[in-house]
Structure 1
């Protein structure tokens, strides 16, 4: 089973929640609604794999917390560490949406097209990418950088929709 991830831009979390409610939590990039401008990026979770990309852009080591994220969906609070786990809890089953911090957006937006191959080459060294080539990662880097530039220009935020 793989993890599906879609990155998209939106004005704010309230707009995202309304669209997710209308689509029963489905990807805002799929189906006839295609509510937002975004990039389908299967398996590129925001914390580790996107964090590795941010680290490659900044030319720093990856660390937990490099990409800040705030839960947006489900709308119920995440379960606390106490108490039994409810298998029907939406936090157990997904999908999940997180708002990414503006530093992440601005880091990706700052990647000039001419630097995409070098960034992709650094990112390809991440263990989590299982030996992906820089050439295969160039389109993803370019698409994410372009999405981030459009979000920054529109004063919007970046979001990640993910599900199992």
Structure 2
């Protein structure tokens, strides 16, 4: 299976309180499984954004995506969601009492990222959601530079277009 990056959008809020990244890939086959996508490096640091300075501080340099250690994550770390559940998952996460002034920026970044996907029929896509606050700390870089990091991989049954969405604050 081949993956080709067709579009990369990385934007950081001017206040530095959050960013989003949208990647659109074209795959050599339609509707690949999450396992295949992970094995074919759908999550690559070079498609993430400008975080090179952090690499020097990692205790054990390895392959990572944000703070996620790619050699340690498993398919079971992801939640498979339809579009309605995808939206609900974010709404639920935003209700956490620990949010500060970065929450409105996260919500704005979410809206901006989704607006970049107007050519896709999101209601028929599958979404594989991972939140670094919900996985074992052994699966994260040491030190973990992120206050929050959420990533979503999206596929569609009749399409070879794969979308990744990443939201975070480092």
Pair in the same fold by TM > 0.5: no
Question: TM-score, normalised on structure 2?
Answer: 0.32
Q: Counting strand residues as a fraction of each chain, which structure ranks higher? A: 2
Q: Counting helix residues as a fraction of each chain, which structure ranks higher? A: 1
Question: TM-score, normalised on structure 1?
Answer: 0.33
